[in-house]
Amino acid sequence: MKKEELFEALGDVNANDVRKAKEYKRHKTPGWVKWTAIAACAALLVGAIVGIPALGKRNRKQAEGSVKTVSAAYPAPVAANLDAQAFLHGDEHWNWWNAYRTKVKASEDLQNGIDGYYAAIMREVLPAEEENTVCSPINIYIAFAMLAEVSDGNTRQQVLDMLGAPDIDTLRSNVSALWEGNYADTPVFKSLLANSLWLNAKYQYNDETLSRLSEQYYASSFLGTPGSPEMDEALQEWTDKHTDGLLHEYVKEMKLDPATVLEIVSTIYYKAQWTELFLPGNTTQEVFHGTTGDTTVDMMHRTDMLGVYRTDTFTSVGLNLFDSGSMYFFLPKEGVDVNALAADPELLAATRYSVDNEKWSSPLVRLSVPKFKASSRTDLLEIIRSLGLTDALDPALADFTPLTTDRDDLYLSAAEHAAKVEIDEQGVTGAAYTALDMEKGAPEPDEEIDFVLDRPFLFLITGRDGSVLFSGIIRNIG
């Protein structure tokens, strides 16, 4: 039989099914939308480009006690007056979606060029002994892109190299596409990016650079006296606000050194829901075999046909997030160290489906995922040094002339990153819905696998465009 004949034969399938297929839209499944799957955020503090501390005397008393603010204009929330149900069932969701998918497409096309950076940053940040490690590659990318804007010469070149951008124009269009493709603020999905500049009233700044950062990077600027309680308070308040307080344990320790000439703070706040839910009634208490011993955890369960990627070193499964990308879980094969996965060359391949790749399959997966909350703070200075960003760290070599020419001894004195990821099934309403849309009499799949995350694993959260929003290694829970 020829394929053309099969195509013709298929023309006669049940007319009602043909009609219903075209009318079907998955979002018309009510009842679960108040459920939160993931809340996560990260703040990158590319901090304190400072002069020599001895020269950083505090004067200018008049500036103290006040922080001059210029806020960037962020896109307005979509359908802020609607609740999740009303939003999904009206035209608003489709209108938003149609506009959003065009933006996602533009950002999708440039992901290949950023993969090298994603791989490098995860390889450097994630390995550890006992603590959980979490980071947001896209957040670090955007913060360092801003650093590229305020630097020049070889200092800028090294930032571009680290980010995998051939030149500053490419970097600008990358950031703009990433921003557009990942900024979402609807009643059911939030992915909020924000940037800010913390400036010292003592200095004259290059207006052109500041306006570029404000317009293209949506950076709000704050001018005041670093080291003053007012400015520290403003800094903490801004960061807490843009991370919804999730990082408060770290934010409350944020302080500006009096010698600060510029601090760049970049944030991402992300909240999305699983496309298919875990039923809370299925959650059981089970043992997690962490690196520091066994603990009892809440294990969520679901059985579904899922895309699975298998290599010699890991098995990974991806779960879709509504309107957004996916969360991928990587379980190392027995005997493989979870730290090795951070540098696994196939990590990103497991998030980019290809028909030709035989490592993909879609068995019936009996999935067990522990509820967890994980956060970590990372000092990025040594990490960026090993990624080749050295000039910025050296007062003699660093070139920050696009920022200000008031001083020629500026250098990058601190770079910190904090991130937190949380997954659970809190606040479920409409728990009567089943995760499985299998009807009676569904055929048995030929292969079934267990995918049980009861020992250290790695995860990645991608945006719809494929960008890596968060990644981490969970070694211990509870």
Structure tokens at 84: 């999740």
Return the number of the residue (337 or 437) whose C-beta is nearest other proteins.
Answer: 437
Nearest distance from C-beta of residue 17 to other proteins, angstroms: 6
Q: Looking at residues 418 to 437 of the shown chain, list those that interact with other proteins (rule: CB under 8 A).
A: 436-437
Q: Give the interface segment with other proteins, choosing from 7-15, 174-182, 388-396, 449-457 (CB under 8 A).
A: 7-15
Selection from 115, 114, 53, 135 nearest residue 379 by Cα: 135
Return the number of the residue (240 or 323) whose C-beta is nearest other proteins.
Answer: 323
What phi, psi does 289 have (nearest 5°)? -90, 85
- Kindly give, in sequence order, each residue whose CB lies less than 8 Å from that of residue 321, ignoring residues fewer than 6 positions away: 37, 38, 189, 272, 273, 274, 275, 327, 461
Return the number of the residue (138 or 246) whose C-beta is nearest other proteins.
Answer: 138
Tell which one of 3, 59, 62, 285 touches other proteins (CB under 8 A). 3
Site string for other proteins, 318-357 (x = CB under 8 A): x-x-xx-xx-------------------------xx-x--
Tell which one of 305, 397, 414, 452 touches other proteins (CB under 8 A). 305
Site string for other proteins, 250-289 (x = CB under 8 A): -------------------------x--------------
Return the number of the residue (180 or 257) whose C-beta is nearest other proteins.
Answer: 180
Beta bridge partner(s), residue 309: 316, 360
Burial (0-12, 13-18, 19+ Cβ within 10 Å), 415: buried
Q: Helix 153-163 to helix 137-150 angle, to the nearest 10 degrees?
A: 160
Please give the Cα distance from 208 to 201 (Å, whole number): 17
Nearest distance from C-beta of residue 307 to other proteins, angstroms: 4
Nearest distance from C-beta of residue 167 to other proteins, angstroms: 31
What is the rounded radius of gyration, in angstroms, for the C-alpha atoms of the chain?
24
Q: Looking at residues 101 to 140 of the shown chain, list those that interact with other proteins (rule: CB under 8 A).
A: 101
Residue 457 contacts residue 472 (beta carbons within 8 Å): no
Torsion of CA 239, 242, 245, 249, to 10 degrees: -30
DSSP state of 217: S
Site string for other proteins, 85-104 (x = CB under 8 A): ------------x---x---
Is residue 24 near other proteins by the rule CB under 8 A?
yes
Is residue 361 near other proteins by the rule CB under 8 A?
yes
Site string for other proteins, 170-209 (x = CB under 8 A): ----------------------------------------
Structure tokens at 7: 């195509």
Identity of the amino acid at 466? G
Please give the Cα distance from 149 to 213 (Å, whole number): 8
Q: Which helix (DSSP H) or strand (DSSP E) does residue 245 occupy?
A: none
Nearest distance from C-beta of residue 6 to other proteins, angstroms: 5
Q: Give the interface segment with other proteins, choosing from 12-20, 41-49, 120-128, 333-341 (CB under 8 A).
A: 12-20
- Look at the block and give the residue holding tokens 């039989």: 1
Nearest distance from C-beta of residue 180 to other proteins, angstroms: 18
Please give the Cα distance from 241 to 248 (Å, whole number): 10
What phi, psi does 300 have (nearest 5°)? -90, 145
Return the number of the residue (17 or 382) whose C-beta is nearest other proteins.
Answer: 17
Torsion of CA 233, 239, 241, 242, to 10 degrees: 160
Please give the Cα distance from 190 to 361 (Å, whole number): 31
Return the number of the residue (124 or 323) whose C-beta is nearest other proteins.
Answer: 323
Q: How many residues bind other proteins (CB under 8 A)?
A: 51
Please give the Cα distance from 247 to 23 (Å, whole number): 43
Q: Give the interface segment with other proteins, choosing from 1-9, 44-52, 157-165, 371-379 (CB under 8 A).
A: 1-9
Is residue 441 near other proteins by the rule CB under 8 A?
yes
Q: Looking at residues 34 to 73 of the shown chain, list those that interact with other proteins (rule: CB under 8 A).
A: none
Binding site for other proteins (CB under 8 A): 1-22, 24-27, 97, 101, 275, 305, 307, 318, 320, 322-323, 325-326, 352-353, 355, 360-362, 436-439, 441-443, 445
